[in-house]
Structure 1
Amino acid sequence: MTRTTTTTRRALLAGAAAAALALTLTACGSDPMPGMDHGAAPSATGSPAGHDMPGMSHGPDGMAGMPGTGHGADGLAAEQGGYRLDGALAGSEYRFTVTGPDGKVLTDYQPEQTKEMHFYAIRSDLSGFQHLHPVRGADGAWTAPLAALQPGEWRMYASFVPGAGSGRGTGLVLSRTATVAGQAVAVPLPAAAASTTVDGYTVAVAGTPKAGAAGELTVTVSKDGKPVTDLQPYLETYAHLTAFHAGDQAFAHLHPEDPATAGAGGGPSLSFHAELPQAGDWRLFLQFQTGGTLHTAALTLNVAG
């Protein structure tokens, strides 16, 4: 091989390597390290965080989603895919709007688990969980009536599926923070446990999900040592399971694998698809209904890396 040929080949190889590196950097972007704080805003109208979590997939419309869930990112951003959440506390209510890519307030939604909007409020220490289905006015503004909020920083999440715009049919979770005035006293996160009790019911959770990997959690409900088989349908299933990551309040909705059957009671065991993007402690909130009463059980789950 001549010296000229060798030089040319080296130049071509160097160019190919540079191109590959450029493509890699473009794909990776500037996402933060796992477990980093996403810069929560100091008020309900603060700046959006807007970072993707490791292990997330991006659909053809460029909107990020947690694998297997269809929900936008980790719920810590106020804006994503052109959709923006704006809101503020007004006494015991949180009033908010969602603006679409066209700059107009969104008034067209697709129901998800029977509701156009799922609204969550949780304190920064993962206490005080509330899950509501707010009322939307004709102008597109939503009003979520909240139970009393303890002083401190809260995060408000709006989970919805746009019925119009470039994100039509894509599940999104957007959030903002709000501060409740007063002397804030932190509530320690309960240690990880396999079971908890609420309203006389014992709820046990089995499964060992790993961060970023698809897995399964099995929830078993009993009362007075006997299996519960009279769970009533709630949001098209026999239980609703939501999780929040300790430290940054990342959001995850764990989807039930079996829908509720009309005219039949559910239980005692329920299976959920679990895909939690980060290692560490997650606070789980399981909601189930019996005798027309909704119960909310909470426990801490440790997810291995």
Structure 2
Amino acid sequence: MTDTGTLRLATLVGAVVLALLAGFALGRAVTAPTNIGTRSAAEVDDHLHPPGTEPHLHGGGVNGGAGQVAGLSVSDTGYTLVPQRTQLPAGTQVDLRFQIVDSDQRPVTAFEVVHDKPMHVIVVRRDLTGYQHLHPQMSADGTWTLPLLLADAGTWRLYTDFTIRDTSGQSLALTLGVDLVVAGHYQPGELPAAAGAARVDDFTVTMRGVPQQGAVAPLLFEVARDGQPTPRLEPYLGAYGHLVAVRAGDLGYLHVHPEAELVGGAIKFWLAVPSSGDYRLFLDFQVAGEVRTAEFTVTIR
């Protein structure tokens, strides 16, 4: 090859490299996160590490992640939820026991503490009533014991929300779910209509914002007490609020945690939903040492 040909080839290669570098820089600039408006689902993945310090979603594994529901499977990424029983009596408290086992059927015993607890259990009936947020105790052999009272007959979904270290030493957040059956006459309730405010005891909780598909949008919740000054919200499990969203139909699960500080006195979350449809939102908040749950229906078109 002549010197002229060599020079032309070098010039062409240099131009391609510069173009690739410029495209990479532009992509970084376009996807840089902001503190206003919506966020992409990928940006929310950053909030999974470390847990409890930034607003983030729980789920993880194959069926979880930012903007994707979790809890639809009893097994995920080699880990399985194994309950000792799935049939419970109505109106009687029982000790429900379960383990999380790995792909070799060995019980997992090392769980990370996330929001003050190594295991969060959410229970809700198939008609999206009877919500409970509970915290079982684990024995040395990896068996969790959960005192559980299900008042009404029907099929209930139990979600185990936890974080472990996988075989590579990385944090792995998972939500595994199983159905519990309570025998008796089942009278399903109608899903309440969508509304921007919810009543619980003498509190009114107002929701501002609209969840979106594929983009993480802000949701703010303002808590007021009838005829009294604005109540002082207290941290509960390391945050000013905990938000669980459950999709009607398949009971797909999202567990969202808020920004570390209140925003104008409101609890601020970032939430993405994966599809259109109806969702039931459950907001846990604490005032004067008592935890209450405000419930909302949201319809995504």
TM-score class normalised by the smaller sequence:
0.7 to 0.9
Secondary structure at the counterpart of residue 243 of structure 2 = strand
Please give the alpha-carbon distance, in whole angstroms, between the structure 1 residues aligned to 2:261 and 2:103.
33
Structure with higher RCO (Cα < 8 A, 6+ apart):
2
Q: Give the C-alpha shift of residue 220 in structure 1.
A: 0.7
Report the counterpart of residue 21 of structure 2 in structure 1: none
**Cα deviation digits, residues 58-79 of structure 1 (max 9, x gap):** 9xxx94264437xx85211010
Out of 61, 64, 67, which is 2:62 matched to? 64
Secondary structure at the counterpart of residue 185 of structure 1 = coil
Report the counterpart of residue 8 of structure 2 in structure 1: none
- For the pair 1:199 / 2:195, whether they are aligned, the reply is no
- The number of equivalent residue pairs is 241
Report the counterpart of residue 142 of structure 2 in structure 1: 140
Distance 1:214 1:66, change over 3 A: farther
Distance 1:238 1:182, change over 3 A: same
Please give the alpha-carbon distance, in whole angstroms, between the structure 2 residues aligned to 1:139 and 1:159.
19
Please give the alpha-carbon distance, in whole angstroms, between the structure 2 residues aligned to 1:225 and 1:207.
25
| TM-score, scaled relative to structure 2 | 0.73
Out of 72, 75, 86, which is 1:76 matched to? 72
Report the counterpart of residue 211 of structure 2 in structure 1: 209
Q: Give the C-alpha shift of residue 142 in structure 1.
A: 0.7
Distance 1:219 1:237, change over 3 A: same
Secondary structure at the counterpart of residue 247 of structure 1 = coil
Percentage of identical aligned residues = 37
CA contact (8 A) 2:246 2:254 kept: yes
Report the counterpart of residue 5 of structure 1 in structure 2: none
| TM-score, scaled relative to structure 1 | 0.72
RMSD: 2.6
Alignment of 1:1-305 (within 5 A): 63-64=61-62, 66-68=64-66, 74-87=70-83, 88-89=85-86, 92-166=94-168, 168-224=170-226, 228-259=230-261, 268-304=265-301
Q: Give the C-alpha shift of residue 166 in structure 1.
A: 4.9
Q: Give the C-alpha shift of residue 121 in structure 1.
A: 0.8
Q: Give the C-alpha shift of residue 103 in structure 1.
A: 2.5
Distance 1:221 1:227, change over 3 A: farther
Unaligned runs of 5+ in 1: 1-54, 261-265
**Cα deviation digits, residues 94-151 of structure 1 (max 9, x gap):** 2111002342100000111111000011100000111101011111011111123310
Distance 1:153 1:267, change over 3 A: farther
Please give the alpha-carbon distance, in whole angstroms, between the structure 2 residues aligned to 1:246 and 1:252.
12
Unaligned runs of 5+ in 2: 1-40, 46-59
CA contact (8 A) 2:70 2:175 kept: yes
CA contact (8 A) 2:61 2:174 kept: no
Query: When you count strand as a share of all residues, which structure comes out higher?
Result: 2
Please give the alpha-carbon distance, in whole angstroms, between the structure 1 residues aligned to 2:268 and 2:73.
29
CA contact (8 A) 1:207 1:217 kept: yes
